[in-house]
Amino acid sequence: MGFLRVIRKWALRDKMPIREIARRTGVSRNTIKKYLRAGIVEPEFQRPDRPSKLDPYAEKLTAWLLSEQRKTR
């Protein structure tokens, strides 16, 4: 569960005071007020698509795992 979603749940559904939310999360009261006023749920960050370092070896690793799986103990 997202951090901002927890703050919104405590404040709006559970009617927890902002001071208590600040104490539990370690975030300042002003920041919590800002989050509640803005109404945002979770910030969206753009993650660039990066190839895995194991991609060149994926077929060989899969073959190894399959051969090990078929062996008896």
Q: What is the pLDDT of residues 5-51, one digit of tens each?
A: 889 899 999 999 999 999 999 999 999 999 899 877 666 677 788 88
Residues 32, 18: contact at Cβ < 8 Å? yes
Token pair of 42, please?
A: 């979770």
Distance of alpha carbon 57 from alpha carbon 63, whole angstroms: 10
- Residue ranges of domains in the chain: 1-43
Place of tokens 């104490």: 23
Encoded amino acid at 53, one letter: K
Contact 29, 19 (CB under 8 A): yes
Going by C-alpha positions, the residue among 19, 21, 20, 17 that lies closest to residue 5 is 21
pTM: 0.53
